[in-house]
Structure 1
C-alpha cells in the first residue's frame, strides 16, 4: 500500500514516487515526479470530497496547466502558478470513493510540472489499464496547441493559454478505441526544417527525454511498446516562416530522405509497432498534393526496405478550415479529425 494514515486524523499522503505516470516523465533527485510530455498522466483514488495536489514549476516566472477527469468525466483545465505555495484542491460533488486522472495540458517545451505529493482520505495510486498503446508523434496540432479558447481568446494571453492536450485528436481517438496513448510532439517542429528555422527538427530531438536539443538525458524507449506509432509531420516543413527570415523553397528530396531515416529510427526503437504516416489538414491545394506524394514515397521506400514485415500505412486528412488560434484546429476541429481517422486506426489496431 502506497499510503500511510496518521493517527491524529490527518489526511493520508501519497508520495510522488509511488505514482504510476504514463507518458514521458522523470523522477528527479528530490523524488518529485516531473511531468514532461503533452497529456502525460497519472491516476489515484480517494475517499470523501477533497484531495490536494502539491506541485511546483521549474521556471519560477512561468505558469502552466493541468487538466483532470473525475470519476470518468472530464472536468477542466487548472492553471498552475510558479510562485504559488498552495496545493491544487480538487473537490468532488458528493461523499464516496472517487477516481482522479491528472493530465499535463501543455507540451514538453512549455516546461515540466513537478508533483511532490497528494493528500486525501484513503488516497491510493492506480495504474493505467493494460490496453494497446498508440504513440502520436507530431507538431503543434498533435499537441492540441492553440485549440482551446474557452478561457482566453485568440490574440490574448500566452501561447500555452490555448493548449488542450486532452482534447487533441490523438487522445480523443485513442480513448474512442479503448487504447492507451502518449504524445511525442513539439510545436513548430518538422521533418527536415521547422516553422521558422532549420533546426532542431523532430529527428534531432526525438530521443531526448524532453524533446529538446540541449538535453543529454535520453528517453528510455523500453518503457513502453506501442502497438501503433502515428507520425504526423510536414506542416511546418511547408511553412513560409515569418516572412522576415530567409526561407528556401520546399525540398521534396530532402524531406523524403530525412523522413525515411526518421521512420527507420522509430522502427529501431519499436521493431514490432505498426507505423502510420499522416498528412496535415492544414496543408492544402498544391502543397497538400505534394505532401501526400512525399508521404506516399516514404511509405513505398520503407516497405521496400522491409519486405515480409507489416507495411507502413498512410492516412490523409481532408483539408480543414481551422477554427483555433493562428490557423490551428480548435477543440471542435480535433473531434472531427479523431472521427475521420478512427476507422483507419481501428484497422491498424487489429
Structure 2
C-alpha cells in the first residue's frame, strides 16, 4: 500500500539528517533536523524507488518539491507533516525541496527524506563547483513576483513571492552554481522603507541563520566560500522621507555611503581577496553606489565592481509595483553574462551548457548591463551532456519564447478546424494518441475524414451547454462519437485570465479523468480534446495530462503557448475589451493553474482521486504499466 500524506517515518535514528542532502543555504544543524529562515533555501537529495516522503515542520512558508528536475508538488504552509510523492518509476531519482517565500518572523524545520517501502534514500549529491551569494531587499527576494498584479494584500504577497524564480536564483541556474539568497524585504543599509523600525537595519540580521532569534549567528561549516557576492541594498534607504525622521537628503547619503563601505570591508574580511564583490546601482541609489565602489577601488580593493540594474524592459507587475517573474528573467539575462566575465577564473570551464562549451560568454557590449532581452534559463539535467552525475538538476523554469522543437508534436491538418495539433511528445505521452484543437463546428466533410484517418474515434468537448447548442460539432456522419464533459456547465466564468486559470484547474478534473480512461483502453483509439479556441480550457486539460505523463514544466508550457502562433494572436495582451477567444495565453497563466492543483491537492494524481479516479485509471501513467502505443497507420 502506498504511503499517504501525513505524519510518517523519520530518517534512521543515530544519523544526522544533513547526511541525506546537499544545501548551500544558512541552516542550523540540530542532528535529527535542521532549522532555517532565509528565503530560497534548498535541500537536494537522491533516492531509489517509486516514492519519497518529504518531512517538514513549517506552518508559515511554501515549498516546491522537484523530482528529476520537474516540480511535482507545491506545499503551502504544510505544517508538521510528511508529504509523499508516489507513483514514480522504480529507479534512481533526484529530489530538490526549495523554500519559495519569505518568512523572517518564523523558524522553519526540515527533517529529511523518507523512502517508500522497497526504496532507499541514497548518499547526498555532490555540490556544484562554484558559489554566489545574493544580498538584498525585496527585489532580491522576488517579492510578489508571480502575482500578475500590483494590488496585493499581505496574504497574496506571501503566497505569490517565489524566490526560486527570483533573478538571483535564475542567474545561478544560468551559471550552474550553488547560491544563497540572503534577502530581507523592507530593510536598508541605514534606513528602512518609509522610515519603519529605525532601531534595526539589514545589517542587524545579516549574520544570522534564524532571522527571528535575537543574537543568533550562522556558523559557516567551512563549505561556503563564494567566488562572487552581489549586494543590492539602497532602494529602501532612499524611499520617500516621512515627517519626523531625523534625516536630511545629505545626511542620509553620507550615512549610506559610510555604512556601505564598511559592509564591503566586512565582506572582504569574511571571504578573502579572491571573492569578487558586486555592488548594484538601482533607482535612487545609483550614483551613491558608484561612489562607494570608486572609493573602495581607490583604497586598493580592485575586487569591488559596479553593476547598473537597467530598468528598461521591466514591467514591475509584481505586488506593490515590484519586479515580476518576467522582470526577473530579464534581469538574470543581463546579470549572468556580467558575472561570468568577472576575473574569477570561471571563463572556459564546463557547465550545463555542455562539454567544451564553457559558461556564458564574458560580458561585453549590451549584455554587460543594458539591452539584453529575456532568455530561456538553461537547466542541467541528470545524464544530459554536460551534466555532472550525482548533482541534482535545478527545477525547470522557462518562459518559452519560441517552439524550437520543445513540445512541438507531430503536425497534422484537419480542414475547417483551427489550432489542431498532436499533444503527444512531451514526457512519456507518445504522438498519435491525443490531439487538441478548437471547435469542430466548421469542420468540413474532408476534415472529418482526415480526423478519422488519424484513428480518432472519440471527441471530448469541453464547452459549456450554450456553446454546444449554438455551434454543435460537425462530424459529417463519421463513426466518431462526441463525449460532452464541460469544464464550466454554463457560459459563466471569471473575466480576468489570472483568475480564470485557477478556476479552470478546479473544474477540469472530470475531463482529465475522461482522457485517461480513453487512453487506458487501446480499442477506443486516439482521442481529440477541444473547446472553443483550443487554448484555455483545452490548454489546461492537456497540460494536466502531459504533466501526469512526466512532461517537464518547460515542455508543457511550450506546447501551451504554441496556441498563440496557431491562432495568430499577439504575444502582448491587446488593449481594449476582448473576449477570451481573442486573448493570447501566457505561461504564467498555466503556472497559476498548476499551482492551484499542487497547493490544494499536492499532485495531479491526488487531485484526480478526488474526482473518482481509481488505481486502474491511474495505471496508464509512466512506471505503472507498459507504455501507451500509438495506433498503427491506416493501410
Shorter-chain TM-score range: 0.7 to 0.9
Shift of 1:131: 1.5
Distance across 1 between alignment mates of 2:102 and 2:123? 24
1:67/1:105 contact within 8 Å kept: yes
Q: Residue in 2 aligned with 1:22?
A: 24
Counterpart in 2 of 1:7? none
Instruction: Tell me whether 1:90 sits opposite 2:85 in the alignment.
Output: yes
Report what 1:4 is aligned to.
none
Q: Does 1:117 align with 2:118?
A: no
Deviation at 1:191, TM superposition (A): 0.9
1:344 Cα deviation from its structure 2 partner: 0.7
User: Structure 2 matches for 1:105-184, cutoff 5 A?
Assistant: 105-107=100-102, 109-120=104-115, 121-149=119-147, 154-155=152-153, 157-184=155-182
Cα shift at 1:305 = 1.8
How far does the alpha carbon of each residue in 1:29-81 deviate from its partner, in whole angstroms, 9 at most, with x for none?
Answer: x6311133222211122223321112213xxxx42111132212345532133
Query: How many Å separate the matches in 1 of 2:244 and 2:78?
Result: 34
Match of 1:6 in 2: none
Alpha-carbon separation, structure 1, partners of 2:153 and 2:211? 27
User: For the residues of structure 2 that align with 1:239 and 1:264, how far apart are their CA atoms?
Assistant: 25
**2:281 is equivalent to residue 275 of structure 1:** no
Deviations 1:238-297 (A, max 9, x none): 1127x67747444211111110011111111011210001123xx2xxx3xxx2211111
Q: Which residue of 2 aligns with 1:5?
A: none
8 Å Cα contact 1:45/1:124 also seen in 2: yes
Indicate the residue corresponding to 1:311 in structure 2: 303
1:208 aligns with 2:208: yes
Supply the RMSD in Å over aligned alpha carbons.
Answer: 2.8
Structure 1, residues 73-129: CA drift from partner, whole Å, max 9, x if none?
Answer: 3455321333xx541122455333211111111236152321223211211242343
- In structure 1, stretches of 5+ residues that fail to align are 1-9
Hey, what's the Cα distance between the residues in 2 that align with 1:129 and 1:146? Answer: 30
- Return the structure number with greater helix share: 2
Q: Is the 8 A contact 1:43 1:125 kept in 2?
A: no
Contact 1:299 1:314 in 2 (8 A): yes
Please show how residues 223-262 of structure 1 align to structure 2 within 5 Å: 223-240=223-240, 246=245, 248-250=247-249, 251-262=252-263
Check 1:215–1:106 CA distance in 2 against 1; reply closer, same or farther (3 A cut).
Answer: farther
CA distance in 2 between partners of 1:134 and 1:158 (Å): 29
- Relative distance call for 1:216 and 1:112 in structure 2 (3 A) is closer
Do structure 1's residue 80 and structure 2's residue 77 form an aligned pair? yes
Q: CA deviation at 1:158?
A: 5.0
CA distance change for structure 1 residues 108 and 26 in 2, over 3 Å: closer, same or farther? farther
Deviations along 1:218-237, one digit per CA (max 9) or x if unpaired, are: 44374411100100111101
Q: Which has the larger radius of gyration?
A: 2
What is the TM-score with the length of structure 1 in the denominator? 0.83
Once residues 41 and 145 of structure 1 are traced to their aligned partners in structure 2, the CA distance between those partners, rounded to angstroms, is 18
The equivalent residue for 2:324 is 330
